[in-house]
Amino acid sequence: MSQQTIEIEDDEMAIKEGPQYLLFYLQSYLFAFGANYISEIVELPQITKVPWMRPSIKGVCNIRGSIIGVLDLSKYLMDIDYIDTRKSALVIVNKDLQDMNYKVGLVVDEVYEVEVFEVQEFQEVPSFGLPIDSKYVASMVLYNNDFIPVLDLQSIVDIELLSQREE
């Protein structure tokens, strides 16, 4: 049996440094957002519906004794209800508002991976052609020869707006 030698370029061995991003799927689209917002990722728990809330607010759940509001990202961003699968997950993010820290659970179809992107991989948000409203997209990033939206969690997780009852 002969040994095969594989030559690896120095730049392939280099480890990227910089902020980490969580990549996840919603309705078969790949998205990302900054991992620095994440408190934890858990299996989708039982969610208790809260009356009179917007359809994208699925309710609340109990995570280790803390009650957390749950936002269905698919419904909120694309007006499509998520389909609970064994790969569905709850990404719990931190949101600061007026000296208070809130935790919000974001329902995603599947957590894909955590990746570091270099500055040159980021691009401006196009004015059209996205699966969601561009006001929720901070930038686009090149990943595996495709551009994926990097979500702006500051505009998505607007506690005051999410807390409003449905009219």
CA end-to-end distance (rounded Å), the chain: 73
Whether residue 10 is predicted with pLDDT greater than 60 in this model: the reply is no
Q: Residue 127: what pLDDT? A: 80
DSSP 43-70: E----B--TTB-TTEEEEEEETTEEEEE
pLDDT by residue (tens digit) across 81-129?
888 888 999 999 987 766 667 899 999 999 999 999 988 888 898 888 8
Calpha distance 113→1 (Å, rounded): 36
Q: Residue 84: what pLDDT? A: 83
CB 21 within 8 A of CB 115: yes
Calpha distance 28→122 (Å, rounded): 21
According to CATH, the topology of domain 18-162 is OB fold (Dihydrolipoamide Acetyltransferase, E2P) (2.40.50)
Q: Domain locations in the chain?
A: 18-162
DSSP 154: H
